[in-house]
Amino acid sequence: MSEKEKALNPDPGVCVPWEVKKAEIGEFPGNEAITKKEWEKLDDFAYNFIWFWAQR
């Protein structure tokens, strides 16, 4: 299993936590809050898409 495939056990509303992504990016020269906010919005969309199939 590669580093990226390690189990994340994400919280509700999350697929890939921002903290995991941030650690992979390393140095962050810009405004982290802007990037984090949009990452989490799309992550939440993906979460809802995944759970949609289980909530039938």
Partner 1 sequence: MNEKEMLYQKRLERYMTAMDCGKPDMVPVAFGVGEWITKYTGTTLQEIYYDLDKSNNVVSEMLPGLDFDIFKGGPALWWPPMFDAMGSKLYKFPGMGVDENSTFQFNEQEYMKADDYDEFIASPTEWLVNHYLPNISTELENPGSYRSTVALIKGAAAFAMQGGIMAAAWGKWTMENGIVGQGTGFTKAPFDTLGDALRGMKGVLLDLRRRPEKVLAACDAITPHNVNCGLAGAGADTRFPCFVPLHRGAYPFLNPKQWDTFYWPSLKATIEGMWAKGKRMLFYAEGDWTPYLEKIAELPDKSIIFQIDTTDAKKAKKILGGRFCLQGGVPTTLLTYGTPEKVKEHIKRTFDELACDGGFILDTGGVVMGDAKKENAIAMIEAARKYGIY
Residues at the contact surface with partner 1, assessed by CB under 8 A: 7-15, 44-56
Shortest distance, CB of residue 27 to partner 1, whole angstroms? 28
Q: Which is nearer to partner 1, 28 or 49 (CB)?
A: 49
Give the span between the Cα atoms of 28 and 45, in whole angstroms.
24
Shortest distance, CB of residue 8 to partner 1, whole angstroms? 6
Q: Which is nearer to partner 1, 30 or 34 (CB)?
A: 34
- Map tokens 């390690």 to a residue: 6
Give the span between the Cα atoms of 4 and 30, in whole angstroms.
24
